[in-house]
Amino acid sequence: ALSDEARTPRGSVPIYVAGTGPRMQRYAGEEADGLLTPSITTPAFVRYSRQNLKDGAESGGRNADELDVGCTVVASIDEDRDKGRQGAREIAGMYLANKVQNIQASADVLLECAELTQEEIRPIADAMESGGRLAAAAAVTDEILDKTRPIAGTPSDCIAAIEEYADAGCSHIMLELWGDDREGQIELFAEKVLPHFRR
């Protein structure tokens, strides 16, 4: 229990809706403080989500510009571009393999926005099934990785990717960090990426 002298940092706790489909996203616009998108979010999916949020906000008599869109984005950073992309390749492989099994109805839009097809990602799922996470990562080609729009590579690459997400309407980015030396990656993000956005 809190003592009588304790103070809470804010009034009410913000409520966010995590949603992929248009109904959940519109509901977030009608009732919530914001929307959280799933992994394998792309700038195109952010624009799709922003529109659904706006539609919901309008039907609820609210201003969509006052609502957050939080995006969980696959991320990995290194001074060496290939090493920075490798961590993102690993987590993208796991997510894409999973999408083959559970894509249903509205979740298809994730692949559509990434301009990916089931045929393109089927080899990743097969590799995951037969060889696990590292085999799936090896099956993620550069072209497929680029389509998933990770925040990955060098610090400059990561800055450009974050700007692309922000331009699409993402107001809150959550980095899903993967790969080697995560503590070192956190430090590199803190030293070379975050200052760009804190000006």
Within-domain flag for 8? no
Range of the structural domain that residue 107 is part of = 16-197
* Residue 54 CB contacts under 8 Å (≥ 6 apart), including other chains: 29, 64
pLDDT of residue 98: 83
Q: Flag whether the pTM goes above 0.75.
A: yes
pLDDT at 8 over 70: no
Within-domain flag for 55? yes
Mean pLDDT in residue range 129-137: 94
CATH number of the domain within which 141 lies: 3.20.20.30
pLDDT at 107 over 90: no
pLDDT of residue 5: 75
Within-domain flag for 154? yes
Within-domain flag for 63? yes
Within-domain flag for 167? yes
The DSSP symbol for 60 reads T
Total count of domains within the chain: 1
Within-domain flag for 94? yes
Within-domain flag for 2? no
DSSP 138-150: HH--HHHHHHH--
Contact yes or no for 174/73 (Cβ under 8 A): yes
* Residue 135 CB contacts under 8 Å (≥ 6 apart), including other chains: 127, 128
Angle 49-15-164 from CA coordinates, rounded to 5° = 35
Within-domain flag for 32? yes
pLDDT of residue 99: 76
